Amino acid sequence: MLLHQGIGLDAFNAMPMRRAVHAVFECCYSVPLAADLARARPFDSHDRLFRFADTLLFGLAEESIDSILQAYPDVGRRPGSEKSQAEQCAIVDERPAVMAELAAASKAYLDHFGFGFVMFINGYCADDVLASMRDRLHNDYETERKVVRNELARINRTRLERMLGPEGGYDNW
């Protein structure tokens, strides 16, 4: 669960460096990305922060991406978790066979590519995730690494949005 939620862009821009790095690290699991994003403050809009975060992510070395991937739990690892409701580990299906298929496909993916499956799942059901995983198993290694970066960028953006809150900030009555 993120400690920094809805803090607002102004508060993020004003945070001490160490705290800003920590807030971004909670979103992206990358110290280099978090530090570079925090150093680039102040941002004048959410969009500029998101675009710079994407630029940093796509500029990371493959070893850094591997490190990020280590932080992601397997699909269905915490089924139905409220803390992780928008994350792949919270995928749940009432059909035990589907959950078993997800676990098997996740293992096959790891065995095939050498890293765990990651997907922006917000709004997708277990069948959708399973279909995507099966489709992506047909990718070659280089293609899948590109897909993974795109999925990580989508996940990061959602997490950064939660960290910052709405563009105009929250109304304090």
User: Which pLDDT tens digit goes with each residue over 114-167?
Assistant: 999 999 988 888 899 999 999 999 999 999 999 999 999 999 999 999 899 877
User: Which pLDDT tens digit goes with each residue over 60-103?
Assistant: 999 999 999 998 877 766 555 455 555 666 677 789 999 899 99
CA distance 69 to 153: 12
Domain range for 15 is 9-164
Write down the residue that tokens 């920094």 correspond to.
Answer: 4
In a domain, 2, yes or no: no
Q: What is the CATH number of the domain that holds 116?
A: 1.10.3330.10
With beta carbons less than 8 A apart as the criterion, state whether 103 and 74 touch.
Answer: yes
In a domain, 171, yes or no: no
Domain count across the chain: 1
CA distance 6 to 122: 19
In a domain, 1, yes or no: no
- Does the pTM exceed 0.75? yes
What's the mean per-residue pLDDT of the chain?
Answer: 88
